[in-house]
Structure 1
Amino acid sequence: MAMLAVWALTLAGGVVLIGGVAALTSDAGPIPEPYKLAWTAISLEVTTLLVTLYAIAVGPYRNWRATCLAMYAVITPILITLCNTVLTAKGGLPGSNGSETRANVVAAGLILVSLGNFLQMLVSAVHDVEHPVQLADHHHNQGGKVTV
């Protein structure tokens, strides 16, 4: 249940982030490089959230914890770098029209998503779901023991 709550927190941060980046992008004309990187990071984040949701909803698959940990570990440094860029540039960001509000929204979304990612990594690392019956292929399952 903790995993689902953290997943929802990360998703909420993502919604804020997408709204902020979309607002900046729409008024920036041709999409500048930082926003291309931001949209790439958002796409990776959505993919990772879907993988995590699959693990929560359908049941854990073999090595799901390592997969989630690796994906979040790759994306989070990109998000932190973007957040630093946003907070440094503020009203100077393309598409901000001199206002810091959009930059603050983007930064808030980035911070929420990064925090959610850290929590996802912690929960994934300590979540104990490795029951042999769940992980074993049902054709090779004999009395709850995994056979290879």
Structure 2
Amino acid sequence: MAMLAAWALTLAGGVVLIGGVAALTSDAGPIPEPYKLAWTAISLEVTTLLVTLYAIAVGPYRNWRATCLAMYAVITPILITLCNTVLTAKGGLPGSNGSETRANVVAAGLILVSLGNFLQMLVSAVHDVEHPVQLADHHHNQGGKVTV
């Protein structure tokens, strides 16, 4: 349940971020250079979510928690750096037309995605499935032997 809440938070942040970037670029034609980084961050986030979903759906394979943690550990600092850039540049960013509100929306999306990442890291780290035997159907598990 906690993992689902963390995913929801991350995805909500992604939606806010996509909307904010769209608002910033709608009157600027092609995506300005600073926002190519934002789209890169969104792509990384989506990739990470897919890897995590795969790890949990087919896992636990060996070291799946370490894989999830490594992915988020790499991506979260990128998102935080982008967020800092957006917050400091604000209305001076191309496409914002001096509107700090638009930049704040993008930063809010980045912050939500980062918070979702942190929550998913914590949930992955404390997840209690260590051995595949624990995932076996209890009706088929007799005397510690798994019969599938």
Identity of aligned residues (%): 99
Deviation at 1:70, TM superposition (A): 0.9
Count of residues paired in the alignment: 148
Could you tell me which residue of structure 2 aligns to residue 87 of structure 1?
87
8 Å contact from structure 1 (residues 141, 147) kept in 2: yes
1 CA distance for matches of 2:48 and 2:145? 30
Tell me: CA distance 1:145–1:86, structure 2 relative to 1, closer, same or farther (3 Å): farther
Structure 2 residue matching 1:80: 3-state secondary structure: helix
Greater CA drift, 59-68 or 117-126? 59-68
Residue by residue over 1:85-132, the C-alpha shift from the partner in whole angstroms, topping out at 9 and shown as x without a partner, is: 111111111111111111111011111111111111111111111123
TM value normalised by structure 2: 0.84
Tell me: CA distance 1:61–1:141, structure 2 relative to 1, closer, same or farther (3 Å): farther
8 Å contact from structure 1 (residues 87, 103) kept in 2: yes
8 Å contact from structure 2 (residues 60, 131) kept in 1: no
Residue by residue over 1:40-88, the C-alpha shift from the partner in whole angstroms, topping out at 9 and shown as x without a partner, is: 1110100111222233444433322111111111111111111111111
TM value normalised by structure 1: 0.84
8 Å contact from structure 1 (residues 140, 147) kept in 2: yes
Could you tell me which residue of structure 1 aligns to residue 26 of structure 2?
26
Q: Where do 5+ consecutive residues of structure 2 fail to align? A: none
Could you tell me which residue of structure 1 aligns to residue 46 of structure 2?
46
8 Å contact from structure 1 (residues 132, 146) kept in 2: no
1:139 aligns with 2:132: no
Greater CA drift, 80-89 or 53-62? 53-62
Tell me: CA distance 1:81–1:58, structure 2 relative to 1, closer, same or farther (3 Å): same
RMSD: 3.6
